[in-house]
Structure 1
Amino acid sequence: MIRRLAWVFIALAALLLMACAHAAYTNRSQLLLISEGQEMALGLQSAQDVLKKEKESTDELQVERVKRVGRRIAFAANKPEYKWEFHVIDKDVVNAFCLPGGKVFFYTGILNLTTTNDELAAVMGHEVAHALLRHGGERMSVALMAQLGGSAASLALGSTVSPAASQAFNQAYGMGAQVGVLLPHSRSQESEADEVGMILAAKAGYEPSGALSLWRKMDAYAKSKGQNVPGFLSTHPTTTDRIAAIQAKMGAVRAKYYQQAELR
C-alpha cells in the first residue's frame, strides 16, 4: 500500500513538473495541465456557440472601431497562431471577454462607456491579456485536479480535446450554464491582466492613461447601479487599489512601450 502511494506521489509530481509554465511578461509560475492547442479548440467551439445565440451589432461604425483597435492590440500581442476575431454583441451589458485563441466579444453596453479609443484599448488589452496569459487554462487545470486527480488529469494533456478538458472548460468558464456569461477571474489574475493589458495597449500606440479614465468611469457606473455591479467588475480589485496600481506602473509602461510604439 505504501509503495503504491509512493508511485502515485511520484507520478503526480512528474505531472506537475511537466505542467509548470511561466506567464508572459510577468514570468509568474503557472500550473497548466492542458495544451494551448486544446484551449484554442475549446475557445473556437464556445465562440461559435455564442454567435449562434447572441445577436451581433449592425452598427458598422461601432463594429469597425472595435476591429480596428483589436487588430492593433492583436499585433502587439504577437500571437500569429491565434485566429483573431472581434465581435460586437447588440446587448446593453457592460462586459467584454476574450476566449482562448483570440475570440473577442464586446457588448454594446461597455462601448457606451469607452468614449475614447484609449479607453477601448484598455478594455481590449485587459481581455486579450487574459487569453495571452492563459488564465483560462489555469482555471481549467484547477478544475481537472479537483475533479479527476493527478493520474486522470494526465489524460487531459495532449494535442486533442479530451472529454475531461471539455468538461473543465465549461466548469472554468461557466459556458455550459449560460452562453456568453463567463465566470469571473480571480483577483490576482485580474491584477495581472490590468498590468499586461496596459502594456499591450501601449505597445499598440494607445495612451496608457486610458486605463485610469476607464476604471473611474466603471466605478461611477457601478455606484450608480447600487448593488448591481456589472460582471466586468466582479472580483476585481477595489477601484482605489486598481487605480493606485495602474498609476504606480504607468510611468514605466509609457517609457518602455508607448514612447517606442511602432503603430503611433
Structure 2
Amino acid sequence: MDTDAYTTMRFERRGQILTVFFRDPAEANTSDLAIHEEVGRLFHDLREEREARAIVLTGSGPAFFTGLKDPVGSLLWQREQGLPVIDAGRQVARRIVWDLLDVEIPLVAALNGDATGLGATIALFCDAIFMADTATVADPHVRIGVVAGDGGAAIWPMVMGPALAKRYLLTGDPVTASEAAHLGLVTHVCPVGEVLPAATAFARRLAAGAPLAVRYTKMAVNRLLKDTMAGAIEQGLAHELLTFTSEDMVEALTAARDGRTPAFHGR
C-alpha cells in the first residue's frame, strides 16, 4: 500500500509488524472530511497489504481516535449540504466496517487514550484490544441526537449482550478501562506507557504463527460477525441518516456550541 498517500495518519514498519498511528485531529492540518475519507480508504488498502503479518492501530496524540477536529461545525455543515453529503458519509461509514472485517491480517488495537464514536467501533472490531488504564471507550452518538449507526449498534451487543450494550449506547456514557475489561470489551488493560509495547509484543506473537492458519481462522470468526450483524449495521446506518435531518440533532449541536443543556422534542 502507498503509505505516503495519507496525511491524517503515519505508518511504521518494523519487520513483519505494520503500525498505524492516527494523528490527533486537533493537530492535524487537514479537514474533518479528509480524516474520514482517509479512514474510509485505510482498511480497503490494508486488505491488499502483503508485507506485514500483523497490524497495530494506535493514536499519536492523547487519544486513540476521536474522529473530528470540530464535530459540531462538521455535522452542522453536513446537514446544511443536504442528502447527497449526508448519504456520502453513510457510505464511507459502511465501507469502513465491511473493509475492516475483510482485512485478513490480524489487527491489534493499542488504545493509548480515549476511543470515541467511530474510534470505539474501529477498536472493538479489532482482533485484540490493549487499553490504557487511563482511557475510556464511548459511543456518544445519542447525545447529539443521532443513531449509533457506524457499527456501534452492531458490535457493542455482540461483545457484551443487548442489555448492557443499550445501557451504554442509549446514554453515551463512557466505559472506563477496568469496566471494559470486566465487560469483555477489551482483551488487556495496561499502564498507559506500556500499551503500545504490549500490543506490539502480542502482534509479534501473531506474526510468528502460521500465516494461513491465523488469517483463515480470523476470517471464519469474522464470517460469523458479518452474518450476525449485517441487518443491524444496515438499519443503524439508515436510521443515522434519518436522524441527521432531525431538529433534535441541530438542537444538540447548537446547545453544545452555546454551553447549555439541549431540550429534545422528538422531531
Using the size of structure 2 for normalisation, the TM-score is 0.25
Structure number with bigger Rg = 1
Using the size of structure 1 for normalisation, the TM-score is 0.25
Structure richer in strand, relative to its length: 2
Structure richer in helix, relative to its length: 1
